Amino acid sequence: MDIERTLQPATRPWTGDAPTPVTRVILEQGSIWGRWGNRIAWTVAGLSLLTALASLGASAQYFQNEAKVVEKYHSLARFAPAKVAVVNISGAIMGGQGFARWQLDRIADDESVKAVVLRVDSPGGTVSGSDEIHHRLANIARERNLPVVVSMGGIAASGGYYVAMANGGRDDVIFAEPATLTGSIGVIIPHFDLSRLMKKLDVEDDSIASGPLKQMLSPTKDRSPELAAKERKILQGLVDDMFVRFKEIVKQGRPKLADDQIEKVATGQIFTAKQALEAGLVDRLGFLEDAIDRAVELAGLTKETARVVKYSRPRGLLEDVLGDTDPGARLSFEAFAEMTTPRAWYLCSWWPALISAR
């Protein structure tokens, strides 16, 4: 509101004395637009402040330092101090530094966690990624004496079965849903030879390498028969060594299986849940709730003294505004390079480069 002050001299009526000056103040209001403009501005500012405070409260977990995972109540006694943690391994296992690792880090720092339910819904992934997740979970379980119960979802094959072996070799701890596909115990190093296609297109791979074996997995390199045979022998040796380790891991997680029984199922074959049960790869047919009940039992708890929790990624303000986005839908050079890098896989697929990590 604009205020204009006008000072005008005035005199009192004549009384015989000298006139006494009087100051008269006239307040003139500004235009209507000025009044409403100020009101609108203050209203918008107030609403903006309330919105910011509401968003800050809703995203408090997001703004925490190192809040890579958010704990959420799942089932049983909501306020019980002892926890059973559900750890999700889903999608292709690309490495040990993502969401799976963050969940395990959270459990390692939380003394109130008394048991772990490993929920696996994965076709497998890289050898190193599967081995790192298995190693870390097995170490946490051993150091804290935590029972680990496995709940298999739609698929728990190859590297997915590998991480399930971090159960400490206990009895009656691997549950597969009736429709689960599992097994696929084996190793694969994908390789595609496009050299003949390159010749038809009159394109030559003229890469400069320090030695002939540096381009061992190049799909465009034209090789002599002797060099191709040498490369295949080397790669087969790598696969064989990693396959031996896979079978050793299975033996640790399924100590009741004899060596000949492991050899019988370690053919890369995929099994239904019923077939896996008959072969000794799983202990029971059941769902997540059945695995939770078993974990509660092994931890010496009851449904009244155990709180089941799970973990999720924290949401940011942009996700609140724009909605959920699928990171796998965004193609970046880094993701492309990761998927096309030659590597060995514990994977139930003939073309792992098409499977993205979630």
- DSSP labels, 203-224: -------SSGGGGTT-SS----
In this structure, the number of other CB atoms found within 10 A of the CB of residue 63 comes to 11
How far, in Å, CA of 156 to CA of 152, rounded?
6
- Mean pLDDT score, 199-205: 90
Dmax over Cα atoms in the chain, in whole Å? 133
Catalytic, out of 72, 199, 214, 303: 214
- Mean pLDDT score, 96-109: 89
User: Which of the 8 DSSP states describes residue 335?
Assistant: H
What distance, in Å, lies between the first and last C-alpha atoms of the chain? 57
Where do the DSSP E strands lie in 160-289? 174-176, 181-183, 270-272, 284-285
Residue 191: pLDDT over 90: no
Q: Which structural domains are found in the chain, ordered by start?
A: 4-49 (no CATH), 70-192+225-318+334-354 (3.90.226.10)
Q: Which of 36-45, 61-70, 190-199, 257-266 has the lowest mean pLDDT?
A: 61-70
Type of residue found at 7: L
pLDDT band, residue 94 (cuts 50/70/90):
confident
Residue with tokens 């501005």: 41
Q: Which of 120-124, 128-132, 240-244, 340-344 has the lowest mean pLDDT?
A: 340-344
**Residue 264 among the catalytic residues:** no
Query: To the nearest whole number, what is the mean pLDDT of the chain?
Result: 81
- Mean pLDDT score, 180-197: 92
pLDDT (tens digit per residue) in 340-349: 555 677 777 6
pLDDT band, residue 314 (cuts 50/70/90):
confident
How far, in Å, CA of 272 to CA of 47, rounded?
57
- Mean pLDDT score, 307-327: 64
- Mean pLDDT score, 142-165: 96
- Mean pLDDT score, 96-123: 93
Catalytic, out of 158, 184, 218, 349: 158
- Mean pLDDT score, 258-272: 96
Residue 3: pLDDT over 50: no
pLDDT (tens digit per residue) in 221-246: 989 999 999 999 999 999 999 999 99
Q: H/E element holding 40?
A: helix 32-58
**Residue 233 among the catalytic residues:** no
Q: Who contacts 163 (Cβ-Cβ below 8 Å, separation ≥6)?
A: 89, 93, 118, 120, 122, 130, 133, 134, 137
